[in-house]
């Protein structure tokens, strides 16, 4: 048995992945409608509500500092890559 995600468009089911089936192979299809991606994301983030409630003030500060350091590191990397790309385009 194989489970795939597909989109129904123009009267045809379009699988999200390639199916390794010969042409004209008959298959049995069971349809389960999935919620829109926006609802899935909302539910995923909603499950995080109150996750920090049990942390001490010191632990919250530690997590916030770690996030800030990660953001700074990412920002520096993006700036570096942007500069490298700009130099490469000038040559």
Q: Does residue 7 have a pLDDT over 60?
A: yes
Q: Where are the domains of the chain?
A: 55-91
CA distance 9 to 47: 32
Q: Which residues contact 13 (CB under 8 A, 6 or more apart)?
A: 6, 7, 29
Q: Do 61 and 68 meet the contact criterion of CB atoms below 8 Å apart?
A: no
The three-class DSSP label of residue 13 is: strand
Tens-place pLDDT, residues 26-71 = 999 888 888 776 666 666 666 666 777 777 888 888 888 999 999 9
Q: Which residues contact 4 (CB under 8 A, 6 or more apart)?
A: 15, 16, 17, 19
Q: What is the CA radius of gyration of the chain?
A: 23
User: Looking at residue 38, what is its pLDDT?
Assistant: 63
User: Looking at residue 36, what is its pLDDT?
Assistant: 76
User: Looking at residue 41, what is its pLDDT?
Assistant: 63
The mean pLDDT of 11-31, rounded to a whole number, is 91
> Which pTM was predicted?
0.40
User: Looking at residue 39, what is its pLDDT?
Assistant: 63
């Amino acid at each position: 048995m194989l489970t795939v995600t597909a989109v129904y468009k123009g009267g045809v089911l379009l699988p999200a992945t390639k199916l390794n089936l010969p042409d004209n192979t008959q298959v049995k299809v069971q349809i389960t409608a999935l919620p829109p991606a926006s609802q899935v994301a909302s539910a995923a983030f909603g499950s995080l509500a109150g996750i920090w409630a049990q942390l001490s003030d010191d632990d919250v500060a530690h997590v916030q500092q770690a996030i800030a350091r990660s953001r700074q590191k990412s920002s520096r990397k993006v700036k570096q890559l942007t500069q490298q790309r700009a130099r490469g385009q000038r040559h």
